[in-house]
Amino acid sequence: MVAVDSQGPQDSAVRMFRRERSIPLRGSAAALCNNLSVLQLPSRNLTHFGVVHGPSAQLVSAAPEGVPLAQRQLHAKEGAGVSPPLITQVHWCVLPFRVLLVLTSHRGIQMYESDGSVMVYWHALDSGDASPGTWSGRILVFDIPAKGPNIVLSEELAGHQTPVTDIATEPAQGQDCVADMVTADDSGLLCVWRSGPEFKLLTRIPGFGVPCPSVQLWHGTVAAGYGDGQVRLYEAGTGTLHVQISAHARAICALDLAPEVGKLLSAAEDTFVHIWKLSRSPESGYTEVEHCHGECVPDTQVCGARFCDPSGSSFAVTGYDLAEILRFSSV
Amino acid sequence: MSVRTLPLLFLNLGGEMLYILDQRLRAQNIPGDKARKDEWTEVDRKRVLHDIISTMFNRKFMEELFKPQELYSKKALRTVYDRLAHASIMRLNQASMDKLYDLMTMAFKHQVLLCPRPKDVLLVTFNHLDAIKGFIQDSPAILHQVEEIFRQLTEVKCFFLLCLWQTYGGLSAGEFQLIRQTLLTFFQDLHIRVSLFLKDKVQNSNGRFVLPVSGPVPWGTEVPGLIRMFDSKGKEVKKVEFKHGGNYVTAPKEGSFELYGDRVLKLGTNMYSMNRPVETHMSGASKNLAPRTQENIAPNPLAKEELNFLARLMGGMEIKKPSGPEPGFRLNLFTTDEEEEQAALTRPEELSYEVINIQATQDQQRNEELARIMGELEVTDQPRQSASKGDDLLAMMDGL
């Protein structure tokens, strides 16, 4: 395992990561982007992991040392078609009053209680004239009640012409940061939105010929990972490019944030995972980035990566064809 | 998943099949004048390759292939290659056919995984096509057949290249990424170890492919290691290097997507030669294969759809019936007959390519249509055990 650390001028403690006990999976991870979702439950000393295998998704709960405690498999709803529908993403949505588990496939959107035990809502996507595999680029906004299954589709946002790949949100920050949500698509276009009774499109940040599979939002800064291995940071309100990182040698598959400490994680098909520190320069006010750590997962086409705790001192990784979740924590 | 994946899958797997058969036939080659009646000669080898190539590029078949459609299962696709391999005088036993299919799939899986950019899978396809052209070009020994095939192929080639261009010419990087993901889904959990790959250190002993972290970056990607920071006017204000961990260099040039050209990429070129025999190990002990067995056991409402697909696709395949009393030459992909028998007995359960177990359909009309198409492709040594055409069809499929 190759691990590379850069010691920044402000960071006197050198961060080293070591490999922890892996969590076995019943099925290998599929070659999708953002193929790992993590729900941290520190009060219950538990972490939930979600990975898409193909026609099924697997949920695993683990104790802090990585000991697996419970497993569950979820499937996409069947329908007409040649083969069982494939799940495209599994993700925990943490809302103010509840946590929902969302499963998407080409048939539609399934929402469950956070442990996957009960499906509370199903939204079918019309196949219509579009052959399976082409997405319209629509963004669906749902109103979620604090309890129960009364979920309602409240808005459809038009902003993208090609399939939407990722959505990132952060709580409204106040006067400085108006942006609440950023969406990315297959053409590399980013749309920045402000939430409210109706969502308002604030900025469009054009792509440059490669998909943007993963996006994050931190204190009014958009962090986007691209198919050519670049990570770019933009000012959300204006769309101005502030940082450009030649981060990876292959397509980026996942980005994650540890918002409390401003750490960004990038993972790509080149087998590497990198951790970056975001900050704002006190003199200029511009966003700055520092490289903290690089980890190579040998011979593994990484497809998902997430921080496992709010301080960004541990992370988990999934890889195509790999039937386990790899875990790393800092020493 | 992408509905434009099947032509790429079919052509590249077909290309690998030709490489393997070519190498195996050469290995069993006997000079024409010294050959006994039952031994392979150079002329026979060329003929087998020609027959397969002309079947692959049959216009009607191409039309079916290029229709936008989802990928079907490995089982369904294997049936098509079974037919294709038997498009000539060559005959393969089940064990040899299994091995052939294993090698084909692992080779293309490797190529897809290692493609620098998703759209480079087109360069891999061109490498296969360039080689196929080579197979039919250098054959002065074969008489009238070559010219006829060449003439047909030139017409067909134009049609085929038109299909290729129409389907893939205008696709975006995002759509190629989806095609790549669709292909990887098809190959998920396949870890058969191939001796040649193990020897070349392309595959690890656990069946996983080596993903190098050195060499040229994909065309259009920058060598990792640089952080650039800009002010609000777009002026670069700071530049910092970081240690990426890999050992990458700039890409020298882009491969050509033209009819002729330097593809630059070596993936998809013929890696077999006389001195590198073709062997596989069955990696059946791996627990990673467990999820796949569910595909064989689960009740199969898909079978009807897959059978329709097969009928349509193979209906377009013109299988030439041998004229006159020509013997079928058997090709063994193993070193000896005993090895082949042994391989058939010891093949792990989860790697079995059993054809779908089909419930008898109620649709009499469809049954007759399918039976008609299958009848045109039928191998004559199947005993007829029942009066109903539908049952014959099922019996035939089960016997494949």
DSSP string, A19-78: EEEEEE-SSPBPS-TT--EEEEEGGGTEEEEEEE-SSEEEEEEE-TT--EEEEEEEEPPP
Write down the pLDDT at residue B391: 40
- Say which of A3, A31, A244 has its CB closest to residue B228: A244
Question: Which token pair is B65?
Answer: 């292939």
How many CA atoms within 13 Å lie on the side-chain side of A256? 31
Write down the pLDDT at residue A34: 96
Write down the pLDDT at residue B198: 92
Calculate how close chain A gets to B397, using CA atoms only, in Å: 19
Residue A27 sits at the chain B interface (C-beta within 8 Å): yes
CB B190 within 8 A of CB B103: no
- Please report the ipTM that was assigned to this predicted complex: 0.90
- Asked whether the beta carbons of residue B209 and residue A30 sit closer than 8 angstroms, the reply is no
Residue A240 sits at the chain B interface (C-beta within 8 Å): yes
Write down the pLDDT at residue B284: 40
> Per-residue pLDDT for chain A (331 aa), expressed as one digit of tens each?
344 444 433 343 446 899 999 999 999 999 999 999 999 988 888 999 999 999 999 999 999 888 989 999 999 887 666 567 889 999 998 888 889 999 988 888 899 999 999 998 888 876 543 332 235 778 888 888 888 888 888 888 888 888 889 999 887 665 555 668 999 999 999 999 998 788 899 999 999 999 999 999 998 899 999 999 999 999 998 999 999 999 999 999 999 999 899 999 999 999 999 999 999 888 877 889 999 999 999 999 999 999 999 899 999 999 999 999 999 999 8
CB B61 within 8 A of CB B81: no
User: What is the spatial distance between Cα B329 and Cα B39, in angstroms, rounded to a whole number?
Assistant: 8
Calculate how close chain B gets to A145, using CA atoms only, in Å: 33
Question: Which token pair is A22?
Answer: 């892996």
- Say which of B1, B72, B224 has its CB closest to residue A247: B224
- Asked whether the beta carbons of residue B291 and residue A28 sit closer than 8 angstroms, the reply is yes
Provide the residue type at B190 as one letter.
L
- Say which of A82, A106, A185 has its CB closest to residue B72: A82
User: What is the spatial distance between Cα B122 and Cα B264, in angstroms, rounded to a whole number?
Assistant: 12
User: What is the spatial distance between Cα B91 and Cα A314, in angstroms, rounded to a whole number?
Assistant: 57
Q: Which of helix, strand or coil describes residue A2?
A: coil
DSSP 8-state secondary structure symbol assigned to residue B128:
H
DSSP 8-state secondary structure symbol assigned to residue A320:
B
Write down the pLDDT at residue A252: 97
CA B39 centroid distance within chain: 27
Residue A271 sits at the chain B interface (C-beta within 8 Å): yes
Write down the pLDDT at residue A255: 97
Write down the pLDDT at residue B134: 81
- Asked whether the beta carbons of residue B70 and residue A132 sit closer than 8 angstroms, the reply is yes
- Asked whether the beta carbons of residue A243 and residue B229 sit closer than 8 angstroms, the reply is yes
Residue A203 sits at the chain B interface (C-beta within 8 Å): no
Percentage helix, strand, coil, to 5, in chain B?
A: 50, 5, 40
User: What is the spatial distance between Cα A151 and Cα A50, in angstroms, rounded to a whole number?
Assistant: 22
Calculate how close chain B gets to A292, using CA atoms only, in Å: 9
Calculate how close chain B gets to A241, using CA atoms only, in Å: 7
User: What is the spatial distance between Cα B321 and Cα B324, in angstroms, rounded to a whole number?
Assistant: 9
- Asked whether the beta carbons of residue B72 and residue A249 sit closer than 8 angstroms, the reply is no
User: What is the spatial distance between Cα A48 and Cα A41, in angstroms, rounded to a whole number?
Assistant: 8
Calculate how close chain A gets to B89, using CA atoms only, in Å: 34
Residue A290 sits at the chain B interface (C-beta within 8 Å): yes
> Per-residue pLDDT for chain B (400 aa), expressed as one digit of tens each?
888 999 999 999 999 999 999 888 887 765 555 556 556 677 778 888 888 888 888 778 888 888 898 888 888 888 889 888 888 888 888 899 999 999 999 999 999 999 999 999 999 999 998 888 888 765 544 445 445 555 555 666 677 777 888 889 889 999 999 999 999 999 999 999 998 899 999 999 999 999 999 999 999 999 999 999 998 898 999 999 999 999 999 999 999 888 778 999 999 999 886 556 556 555 443 333 333 333 333 334 446 666 677 777 776 665 555 544 445 677 878 777 888 888 888 877 666 665 433 323 334 444 454 445 444 433 333 333 333 443 433 333 443 3
Residue A86 sits at the chain B interface (C-beta within 8 Å): yes
- Say which of B185, B204, B220 has its CB closest to residue A228: B220
